[in-house]
Amino acid sequence: MIFPKGKKLSQDELMEVERVAADFDCSILEIHGRNRCLYAILGDETHAVMFKRIAGLSFIRKVEMIESSYKLMDRRSGLADHVVRMGDAEVGIDMPFIIGGPCTIDPANPSLYLETAHALKEAGVQALRGGVWKPRTNPYSYQGDDNALGIILQAREETGLPIDVEVMDAGQLKIALKAKVDILQVGTRNALNYSLLKQIGIETAKTNSAVLLKRGRHMATPDEFIAAAEYIVAEGNPDVMLCPRGTTPALDGYRNHPDESVTPLLKSRTWAPIVVDPSHSVGHSDYVFACSLAAIAYGADGLCIESHIDPQRGIGDDPKQAITPDKMKELIEACRNAFTTRYRVE
Ligand code: PEP
Ligand code: MN
């Protein structure tokens, strides 16, 4: 990781650094951090001579080597002060960042989605979620519909809130990017689909889209989870949020094994914000409130919660999992209060 003296390297300075790196078969990646640009050395960065030559350039402040399979996501990385900004919110800074909305947008009932969106804005959510394309375990269940995208775009237009939409393949990614979707969700089933993660990194390096990366349901270890996110960041987009959402095998009676307790382990290793999904963890609207508070207590920076104005009229997971906007309002208040006393890694 190379730290320039100024905010960023000029074109000539960058070319000089690249010439040195090329002598050692390495290349340089420019990453836009919070206060300045940082430059990652890609390739075998252990050459002491290369280090010395780059560190000796007059416009370089320092060069640091981090030996880790996720050197950009690592807490010791120069990106550690990076903050993900979404709409008016800075994720995890002053209050928990709350994403809310139905599991699945019903294309036959746009008004249900739009009314939910307005009610959730009123309740205090900072971003809207809604499934356009759905990864379903049962291949005969509703799979999603391109037309649902127009509905969530209309909700963004009307509420001014950023939107979170899951993409499962390159075709959906292209459509979502054309619509300037603010948060691209990668679901638990694609959590380790490295070519999709790389593709998202490449395509979003020059856009403003953030990524909400869910944890692989088959108990991805903290390192495996963080390394998956590294695939996105290594292509030039540091706006990644990690989302624990429960693992299998499920705890008897819950949908998954709730895993909000992985939060402090992740926080001790990475700077990326942790946005817990309590809805898929427990799978029952009754337990979402408690799971959300637990996540905040463990140090989560935010929550992604399924919510619907009339859950019984929803589709996908909504009849079972979604909480009402009224409950969401109560939950947000409780989580804001708990936020100041949450666990923090020193
Ligand atoms: C969802 O958010 O509706 C979803 C399908 O999530 P997951 O990938 O966690 O199952
Ligand atoms: Mn769902």
Q: What percent of the chain has pLDDT over 90?
A: 89
Digit-coded pLDDT (tens) for 314-333: 999 999 999 999 999 999 99
What pTM did the predictor assign?
Answer: 0.94
Q: How far apart are CA 196 and CA 48, in angstroms?
A: 34
> What's the mean pLDDT in 19-23?
96
Q: Is 321 in the pocket of ligand 1 (CB under 6 A)?
A: no
Closest approach atom of ligand 1 to CA 131: 3
Ligand 1 midpoint to CA 63 (Å): 40
Say what the pLDDT of residue 66 is: 79
Query: Which residue has its alpha carbon closest to ligand 1 atom 6?
Result: 187
Confidence of residue 219 (pLDDT cuts 50, 70, 90): confident
